[in-house]
Structure 1
Amino acid sequence: MSVGEGLGAQLDDYLRRWPEEAATVELFRGLLAGHGPGANAYVRERLEGHFTASAWLVDRTGTRVLLTHHRKLGRWLQLGGHADGDEDLARVALTEAREESGLPGLVVEPGLFDLDRHWIPERGEVPGHWHYDARFVVRAGVDERFVVSAESLDLAWRDIGGIANDADADASLRRMAGKWGLAGGSGALIRPSGTFSR
């Protein structure tokens, strides 16, 4: 599956790998089905809900992930942001990872790694709304020296095994750390047969 594969095909592939997440996939399919003129699901102005993209940004060894202490939400989370009209969510995830980390040599891997629909509380004049977040594995290169952007209070490399067992960590971070562990820390996409593929 190519990085730029359409979201519908990516959702089909994701459901084959994670059948227990069928309800979440259906939420994403519902938003995608309603996408069109006057109801662009890829722009933040669609307050009924819109697509965002995030990066599970791992180091070369696959043992650590780069997290942001999110300035607006005040929690440690993966890097990511709004699609702002771009329908290639893998590209959005890569762009956000570059902009928010300042890391050179980042590479996004094809295929959805995780899906998460979460509520964003009201902030100022923007009412509360749903984010439909598509997560992709992004790999760091040799240089791991990050730059903290205006989006973050701080950035930190965190041990993935520690996140999986941290009751105080965000639930979706724990889920992604668990998925990473199932793939043996390789980022390989899990198939129903129990085999892995790249």
Structure 2
Amino acid sequence: MTLRQQLEQYRPYNEQEAKDQELMLRYMDTFDNLLTRENEFAHFTASAWLVNKERTKVLMVYHNIYQSWSWVGGHADGEADLLHVALKEAMEETGLTNVHAVSDEIYSIEILGVPAHVKKGKHVATHVHLNVTYLLEADEQDETFIKPDENSDIGWFELNKAIEVSTEPDMKVVYQKLNDKLKGY
């Protein structure tokens, strides 16, 4: 199934997701390079809400650019299989080797504003991430590792604590939504 088909079939959880779904599909009709950072206005990313087997905790990293505790994920960089991107990024950013998807279906969607910043010595202009989130699972007893070029700490947090430790107001709303949706799984 193509990314477009997945997004068309996705059933929005709330008004935010319904509007973001509409815009993502409209952007797909407008731009042909949303899977790469060549589109400096908007591009696809994949994130993971990486929970333990009991689904009582989430693994977060302390993100160097945003200076906040954050979920894991990254840019599509040309890859249309965003579940694959979410799994790859989750393992790269945490050091975990045994991560699996709870489902291959999209868990959540968000259009996220990204403020201007410097990455690897280069200015990155303000833009948006067309983000697709997947629910992933790992064993909290498995060893984790920091990825120093992206994060400076890593830890398992109780679901509500994950919201508290984030210093990004917009992301607190997203994390609350992800936790609320988890109750239905």
TM-score range, shorter chain: 0.7 to 0.9
Q: Does 1:120 align with 2:151?
A: no
How many angstroms does 1:31 deviate by?
2.0
Q: Does 1:82 align with 2:81?
A: no
Letter of the 1:173 counterpart: Y
How many angstroms does 1:163 deviate by?
4.2
How many angstroms does 1:158 deviate by?
0.8
Letter of the 1:24 counterpart: D
TM value normalised by structure 1? 0.80
1:35-74 to 2 correspondence within 5 Å?
35-36=31-32, 40-74=33-67
Which residue, 97, 105, 111 being the options, matches 2:105?
Answer: 111
- Report the 3-state secondary structure (helix = DSSP H, G, I; strand = E; otherwise coil) of the residue aligned with 1:26: helix
How many angstroms does 1:126 deviate by?
1.5
Kept after mapping to 1: 8 A contact 2:36/2:44? yes
Q: 1:57/1:33 Cα in 2 relative to 1: closer, same or farther (>3 Å)?
A: same
Q: Which moved more, 1:5-14 or 1:145-154?
A: 5-14
How many angstroms does 1:166 deviate by?
7.9
Kept after mapping to 2: 8 A contact 1:64/1:158? yes
Which residue, 130, 133, 136 being the options, matches 1:135?
Answer: 133
- Equivalence for 1:12: 8
Letter of the 1:128 counterpart: T
| RMSD between superposed Cα atoms in Å | 2.1
User: In the aligned structure 2, how far is the partner of 1:103 from the partner of 1:59?
Assistant: 12
1:108-165: per-residue Cα shift (whole Å, max 9, x none)?
Answer: 2211111111111112321111111100011114743211112112111011144468
1:168-183 to 2 correspondence within 5 Å?
170-181=172-183, 183=184
How many angstroms does 1:9 deviate by?
2.2
Structure with greater strand share of residues: 2
Kept after mapping to 2: 8 A contact 1:165/1:174? no
Number of aligned residue pairs: 175
Which residue, 138, 142, 145 being the options, matches 1:144?
Answer: 142
Q: 1:156/1:167 Cα in 2 relative to 1: closer, same or farther (>3 Å)?
A: closer
User: In the aligned structure 1, how far is the partner of 2:39 from the partner of 2:146?
Assistant: 29
User: In the aligned structure 1, how far is the partner of 2:130 from the partner of 2:44?
Assistant: 5
User: In the aligned structure 1, how far is the partner of 2:164 from the partner of 2:74?
Assistant: 26
- Equivalence for 1:28: 24
User: In the aligned structure 2, how far is the partner of 1:113 from the partner of 1:57?
Assistant: 11
